Amino acid sequence: MGYEAGSGMNTAQARAFDPSESALVGIYEISKLLASPNRLEKTLAGVLALLSSFLDMRHGLIALLDAHGDPEVVVGSGWSEVNAKKFFEHLPERAVGQIVATKMPLVVENVAASPLFEGTDLSEWGPTDGRPFSLIGVPIKEADAVVGTLTVDRVYSDRSSVRFDRDVRFLTMIANLVGQTLRLHKLIARDRERLMQEKARLEKGDRPAHIEARFDGIKGIVGESPAVRAVVDKIRIVAKAKSTVLLRGESGTGKELFAAAIHNLSPRQSKPFVKLNCAALPESVLESELFGHERGAFTGAAALRKGRFELADGGTLFLDEIGDITPAFQAKLLRVLQEGEFERVGGTRTMKVDVRFVCATNRNLEEAVQKGEFRADLYYRISVVPIFLPPLRERKGDLAPLANEFLRRFNNEQNVNLTLSESAMEVLNECSFPGNIRELENCVYRTATLARGDAIADRDFSCRNDGCLSSVLWNGSRESTIGGLHAPSFTPLPIVSKPQPPAPPPRPAAPVRPPVEEAAPVSAAAPAACPGAENCTVIESDHRSDRDKLIEAMEQAGWVKAKAARLLGLTPRQIGYALQKYDIPVKKF
């Protein structure tokens, strides 16, 4: 049987070579076939057709296995869509199983006398002349795993085993080429799927749809506090220009949402809005993500891939957490920001793009520049128009609409109809939410999930049941400056020995108060001793332990934490921490 694709070599020409030269020609012809851009099944069928030109064989079979070892694709000599099923039906499963288990070639000189084929119908394996036949099988490997088998059969004779050894070596080399082709097919399929997803995402515009429009036509912005209005007014102005914008603020303030608003209000709103979190990827992957790569630029680069700069051409590119990129990558990014030019990884052609940059960070870039951790020239390039986003604690009046919006989303997702009671809003107003909008959203979702009625009450919140894990991180604060904003750095509150006066105005470098485990002694404040005095000092005249004072206050309050907290001048949460610390069981009445 001849195979006329490629070189046009037929069986007679192939066998005219001596054995060693014939094997080299066979490998060359098959490698050309495997490199052709055809469907995998047709390519494998062509491999078997070529093998018949270089081996004394009757039939060939290639079986590709899935992750569980079951046949996924089976291709035989003369394969077509019509007769593909018969190859599944006549697959020598026990022989294939032995090849997969041992990861070694298999030679069966006489199939009819082999226990591997005992009870197997061999009528479809050859002519009806009753002549015995032999079988040779080799594993197809990807790395060290067997992903398939290649088997051939031929008429059995009393030839020496040297011929078998030569054919086994030849088939092993062919199986190795097939294994490499399978790996490339998987990489190409993975890249194709990723590009299709990227294309679909860009066609949708990739607009954040977390919150419905609520404020002056700005999509996604909820709240009408003066702090938010000031930011929105500035965004309306800068959106019309092409200047680079740097969004600064604490984590969870919605920087991505405001970046999308800048794009949506700009003349580029019909073009792509592409975003990338610079802190989520290592430098090597980040370079490929931003600049793209040429085919063969590195291992696994099976096809050309456009980077985020090319995909955002004509639109807006949002670089989140830009303060976390390495100094080496800062130099590469500076040229793109300054000139709009770059080269793909592994390429030499200079690409030029028209992109509007919006960057974001929660780091103190000025301090990073002074320490040499961030390039000064890159800082001036990205900080053309800095916009500081207010934390939630400075957005007075926005907490209620935000909480109701998050609850509305929860109701839509879960098909329920929960509401926030007045007591629930009081609990929310008592918390400063240092994690900002993200923490508020998590709090509403968590409480709504565990709510015991149609209306969320104060008893449903974790902090009312000593189960708020966020309080362990955020309870108490000292002030630090991040990006020109006063941002809290949190440590647990102590248990103090007197009623606390109103919190003083924020001062830089305020001292850090000790955590709960190192709490100050508990003393019951005696209001009658200094009525009306705001700064009276409580004199501890007794020698009772902190534990005894706490138990006495709880007894006096009827084991109600809120009442005991008022007696000691503390908060219910601080009382809960103290009860846990001293291992005091709460009595139930």
How would you write 230-262 as a 3-class SS string?
HHHHHHHHHCCCCCCEEEECCCCCCHHHHHHHH
Q: Are residues 183 and 310 in the same domain?
A: no
Q: What pLDDT is recorded for position 387? A: 93
From start to end of 80-223, where are the E strands?
A: 106-108, 133-142, 145-155
Assess whether 525 and 539 both reside in one domain.
Answer: yes
| CB-based contacts of 374, cutoff 8 Å, min separation 6 | 323, 327, 330, 365, 368
Residue 342 lies inside a defined structural domain of this protein: yes
Under 8 Å between Cβ of 476 and 577: no
Structural domain contains residue 5: no
Same domain, 90 and 133: yes
CATH number, domain containing residue 335 = 3.40.50.300
Cα gap 247→361, rounded to integer Å: 7
Within 8 A by CB and 6+ apart from 348, the residues are none
User: By the 8 A CB rule, do 33 and 50 touch?
Assistant: yes
Residues 456 and 544 in one domain: no
Same domain, 65 and 166: yes
Residues 110, 161: one domain? yes
Closest CA to 251 of 438, 71, 122: 438
**Which tokens in the block code for residue 388?**
């500081």
The Cα angle at residue 467 between residues 461 and 470, in degrees rounded to 5: 85
Amino acid at 165: D
- Residue 243 and residue 385 in one domain: yes
Residue 27 counted as domain residue: yes
Q: Compute mean pLDDT per 10 residues along the chain, 589 residues long, and list them.
A: 41 51 80 80 84 80 81 76 63 80 87 77 59 85 86 73 77 88 82 77 56 51 85 90 90 89 90 86 78 71 77 89 86 82 78 89 91 90 91 86 90 90 87 85 89 86 74 49 40 36 44 40 42 38 70 84 81 80 77
The pLDDT score that the predictor gives to residue 238 is 92
Co-location of 481 and 400 in the same domain: yes
CATH code of the domain in which 178 resides: 3.30.450.40
Is the residue at 507 inside a domain?
no
Report how far residue 187's alpha carbon sits from residue 193's, in angstroms, rounded to the nearest whole number: 10
Q: What is residue 203's predicted lDDT score, i.e. its pLDDT?
A: 66
Q: What is the CATH number of the domain that holds 532?
A: 1.10.10.60
Would you state the structure tokens that stand for residue 587, as one six-digit string?
């009595």
Is 174 found in the same domain as 95?
A: yes
Range of the domain at 482: 394-490
Q: Using CA atoms, how far apart are residues 46 and 41, in angstroms rounded to an integer?
A: 9
Domain count, the chain: 4
- From 369, 429, 383, 391, select the one nearest 506 (Cα to Cα): 391
| Coil/strand/helix, residue 571 | coil
Round to whole Å and give the CA distance between 101 and 110: 21
Contact 147, 140 (CB under 8 A): yes
